Structure 1
Amino acid sequence: MPGFLTLSTQEIDRKFHELTWAERLRLADAHRNHDIDDYKWGHYQQYDFHQRGAMDRYNNIRPWNYNRVRLRVPEDGFDYVNASAVTLSSPSNDALPPLRYIAMQGPTEPSFDCVWRMVAEQMPSPAVIVQLTTMHENGFIKCHQYFPHCEDESTWTLNDGDVWGDGWTAQLTFVSLDDSGDDAIEIRKLLLDVEGEDETRVIWHFLYRRWPDFGVPTFDDMDSFFKLMKLSREHSAPSGPRIVHCSAGVGRTGTFIGLEHLMRELDTGAFEKYDSSAKTPDLIFDTVESLRQQRRGMVQGEAQYQFLYHVMRRLWREKHGVPDDDRGEPAPKRLEVADPFTDESNDSQDDPEPTPEAAAGADTSR
């Protein structure tokens, strides 16, 4: 077993705090260089809340300047959406294509047109959006309803006020709603028709309902979680990124993206290159550091960071038929995701602060 999978809870917590300090240094660096336009670790700052409405759900969760997704609008037009382009490449196999995502916040109502313009500009058909939060949790707004969710509101017109002044407009149409059979995943098919374009984009929207706020999925729910990953890959155009979001777009979002990358490394044999010594590189730590360099706060809570180690340790044991520590018996075979890529919270940093305009009464869970 790779050495990083044998770390104690205390050792994992220590590594999480290392990640937190590294991020604080980036933020301090950005503060020192705040007068430099588009400084790498800087953030876009919106000043027209009263005219446009709040684009950010939380005051302290914004994309880094260097990799924020910019809308292709006329020069000096409003090009902002709270979304980051995220890429994870295999450190052990250059032949594997990089995994590409767009990590975004749960859209605020004023940002709907920006989100769908981003989808039209960045994603070929069919496109996939993975939503890891429900719209409301414990009575608080976590994400505004940014798509027609049933036949009663079948078609939305986007940007009918032509806020960019370039004539961009589109129709977003509800087609169907299914579930995964276990009540864990809502599967919606939408159509996006951009005026002036010949192609109608198919949008698959997957809403996962079993990720609790302030926590992680239970091991009993892992089959449905792995199924969500597999469905999102199967329905997405190979050349395009997948959008993944929760409420702030960092905690649950980062955990989903990081875990999928780590699972691919395990399934393609990369873990065999790591020995059992304490000095072997820590692939999980390196993955989360890479994610945080691409979007602030990814895998935000300690429980979420611990979750990555627990899941990968269990999957490694299942792959190698090693008895589970807790039960003293062989681990069951993981039937659905034995080879998913070849088959065709406690928080140490400040909680996200909701912008007053984004959602009244929103709490801070991810």
Structure 2
Amino acid sequence: MDHLSSRFRRIKKQSSPASPTTTLAGSPPDRSPLESKLNSGGQREPPSTVAPPTLTIPTGQPISNAPKSPFRRGFTFRHSNKRARSPAPPQPPPVPAIVSQDGTVEHDKSTLLKDDDKTGQGATEEKPKPKMPAFLNLSENEIEAKFIDLTWAERMRVQDSFSNPSPTYQFARIDSIDVKRLDRYANIQPWANNRVKLQVPEGQQDYINASPIVLRSPFYPQTKPTHRYIAMQGPKSITTDHVWRMVMEQLQSPAVIVMLTETLESGMEKCYQYFPKIVGEEWDINEIDEFGDGFRAQLSCVAVEDQANGAIEVRKLNIHVDGREEDMTVWHLLYRRWPDFGVPALEDVGSFLELMRLSREKNANEDNPRIIHCSAGVGRSGTFIALEHLMRELDSGDLDRYVTKEERDDGEDDIIYNTVNRLREQRRQMVQAESQYAFIYQVLRKLWLEKHGLAVEDIQEPAAKRLEVEHNPHDPFFEVQE
């Protein structure tokens, strides 16, 4: 999977040989959507006959009056009657002539047949194109419908948690009023039976708004490594010491924290400045001894470096815990190019994949969870986790085993839907916005085409209808979007 970020460029197709078919006057040149986008400065060339319908973005603002996401335009694949022309079959080389001693001319028959020619005719069949998994060929309306299904499934879990007061119920809620002051958003809490618990003296509050996340391969759960994360909210000033206590209790050195939000966005605090920013700056952790157990630590910034043209701020932190012989190294990766209420732009996807690679490379081992957080710890965090997990299945080839429901014995036809559903069973509202959910389909589709050396024109697909998605600010379920 690590090589995908370096391959996140469209593979140039070989031009087709000249065809005897007459080209109509005024026909557009054969260019892929990505080439057209790049050659026109990021703008897609609209069809000449049909005007695109109005698209309403999640904030409720018409697309004609709002800044357009270059990523969404770059990954909206339209059906066209024009298809890429297949190259003409290669012509066999001239058969060498052999002149015998009596002057007669013979042909070298060994060149007429190839080793892989079982028909004896000397013709080589063109390798069939791979079949795109059906879920990568869904229309926007179908993707939206699946997201709505996920939303209702979660609402049913929340409703069941009210009617089932048992503390052992899988989706039991946290009833303690004391913890609400520790939450950044009132509607974003971990499930009571799937949360990180601080190791504090008995009778002390062990709560932190963080959830352990475990994802296994659907085909090889026993042999493929398990993906482990901790999804947490952006710390508040009163929870900063709690975060570093969790880091030292739950992670090995070197550990990794991925931060997908700025501390301030649109004039609002999305995350407290919970780490030292300047090299040489040092903080004392748990100065007031909140839990009365004498825990003390010193946190310092060792180095800061920008990578991926400034998209990623890499910070090396050192933690010294009183009473421990060895210090702990923590790599803090701040990603700067994921806008609030949106997804990364097309030109930033490469840096986003680089962020994933760095987070894996700097982690102690695959069993060591990485902390992923944004503001609420569900939208951008869930999208990062889901996409990284699914990219492994793409890289290994297992994604191609998801064809159609009729062709599979277990009936599971959409690994993206299944992955997001499993995430939400572990933490509420993971992959929170519909645009984030669609983003996962768009990126995987793009990477699948590049992996197989194909262009959009190579894959026949039904015409996709554009969505009209309205964000209802009065719906408390969607109080927070990231």
Band the TM-score falls in, shorter-chain normalisation: 0.7 to 0.9
Aligned to 1:37: 167
TM-score, normalised via structure 2 length? 0.66
Alignment equivalent of 2:146, drawn from 5, 10, 15: 15
Identity percentage of aligned residues: 51
Aligned to 1:137: 265
Q: CA deviation at 1:272?
A: 2.2
Q: Point out where structure 1 has 5 or more consecutive residues left out of the alignment.
A: 329-344, 354-363
Contact 1:172 1:191 in 2 (8 A): yes
SS at match of 1:236: coil
Distance (Å, rounded) in 2 between the aligned partners of 1:274 and 1:47:
45
Q: Distance in 2 between matches of 1:253 and 1:16?
A: 17
Tell me if 1:298 matches 2:298.
Answer: no
Question: For residues 106-162 of structure 1, what are the alpha-carbon distances to aligned partners after superposition, in whole Å with 9 as ceiling and x for unaligned?
Answer: 00110111111100000000000000000011111100000111137x111111111
Partner of 2:397: 269
Q: 1:178 aligns with which of 302, 305, 313?
A: 305
Counterparts in 2 of 1:95 and 1:297: CA distance versus 1, 3 Å: same
Q: Secondary structure at the match of 2:392?
A: helix
Alignment of 1:22-101 (within 5 A): 22-34=153-165, 36-37=166-167, 39-48=169-178, 54-93=181-220, 94-101=222-229
Q: 1:310 aligns with which of 417, 442, 447?
A: 442
Between 277-286 and 116-125, the greater mean CA deviation after superposition: 277-286
Deviates more, 1:213-222 or 1:119-128: 213-222
How far apart, in 1, do the equivalents of 2:372 and 2:152 lie?
Answer: 26
**Mapped contact 1:186–1:207 kept (Cα < 8 A):** yes
AA aligned to 2:326 is: E
The 3 A distance-change label for structure 1 pair 295 and 347 is farther
Distance 1:280 1:316 in 2: 19
Q: Kindly name which structure, 1 or 2, has the bigger radius of gyration based on alpha carbons.
A: 2
| Amino acid corresponding to residue 350 of structure 1 in structure 2 | P
CA contact 1:130–1:244 (8 Å) conserved in 2? yes
Are the aligned partners of 1:2 and 1:277 in contact in 2 as well (CA < 8 Å)? no
Q: Give RMSD over aligned pairs.
A: 2.1
Q: Which aligned pairs between 1:220-299 and structure 2 lie closer than 5 A?
A: 220-238=347-365, 239-276=367-404, 281-299=413-431
Task: Provide Cα deviations, 1:56-114, integer angstroms capped at 9, x if missing partner.
Answer: 00001000111100011111111010000001100112311110000000001101111
Cα distance in 1 between the residues matched to 2:308 and 2:346 = 18
Query: After superposition, where does 1:145-164 map in structure 2 within 5 Å?
Result: 145-151=273-279, 154-164=281-291
Q: Among residues 102, 110, 127, which one is paired with 2:230 in the alignment?
A: 102
Task: Count residues with an aligned counterpart.
Answer: 335
TM-score, normalised to structure 1, is 0.87
User: How far is the alpha carbon of 1:303 from its aligned partner?
Assistant: 0.3
How many Å apart are 1:207 and its aligned residue? Answer: 0.3
Equivalent of 2:256 in 109, 128, 132: 128
In the other structure, the counterpart of 2:61 is none
